[in-house]
Amino acid sequence: MSTWVTSVRHSRQPIPFNSGSGLRAHVASGFALPSGLAPARARELQGAVARGIQYWQRRPFELAIDTHPTPSVEVDIEVSWGEGLSGSQIGLIHTKSSLDQFEVLGITLPTLSPNLKYGRTPEEVPLTAAHEIGHALGLPHSDSHRDVVYPTNTARSLTPCDFRTVEALYRLPNGARIRRSP
C-alpha cells in the first residue's frame, strides 16, 4: 500500500495542498493493484476512480489526476487498493490528527464489494472515490442520503449541497472552526 502526506491544518479549515493552488491526486496504476486482478480490470478500476475524483473538478479549485507516477511530481492524494475492508466499508481515508493539525495519510479503496464475493460495479467505484475525496477535502458525513458524503454512499451523483459545502469551507479565513449543531 502506498501512502502520501499533505500539510493540513485542521479538517474544518481550508487545506493547503503541496502542489500549489490546486489539488494533485495520484491513482495507483495496475502494478499496485492486488495480484490476480486482470490488467484490463485494473485499468477499468483506475479509470473509474479518476472519474470519481474528477467530479470535484473546479469545485472550487483545479484538480490534476495522475495515473502514472513520476517521482519528481509531488502529489497531495495517493489512492491505494485493497482486496477488501472491514465490515461493510467501501472506502477508507487514513488520517492522523492532533489539537492543531489534521493530516490525511492516504485513501484505500477495495477492488471487491464488501461481501468479498463480487467485483465493484462501474457505478460504485467513482462515487466511492468522490466520497473519500470529499472527506480528504475536509467534509464530514452528511445527514442527507442524496449527498455523496452520506455515510452509506447512496448518492447517484454529487449534489449542489456537496459543492456548496466545499466552496463555503474553502472561503473561510485561516483559523476558522466549524461545529456541527446538536
- Decide: helix, strand or coil at residue 96: strand
Predicted model pTM: 0.75
Q: What string of pLDDT tens digits covers the 182 residues of the chain?
A: 322 222 222 233 344 444 445 566 666 554 455 556 777 877 787 888 888 888 888 777 777 777 766 666 666 777 877 766 777 777 888 777 776 666 777 788 877 665 555 556 667 788 988 998 888 888 888 889 899 989 887 788 888 988 888 888 777 776 666 666 65
**Domains of the chain from N-terminus onward:** 23-171 (3.40.390.10)
Strand-by-strand arrangement of the 77-82 sheet: 63-66, 23-27, 77-82, 102-110, 92-97
Which grid coordinates belong to 127?
Answer: 462515487
| Contact between residue 109 and residue 132 where contact means Cβ atoms under 8 Å apart | yes
| Maximum alpha-carbon separation in the chain | 48
What angle separates helix 124-136 from helix 39-54, to the nearest 10 degrees? 50
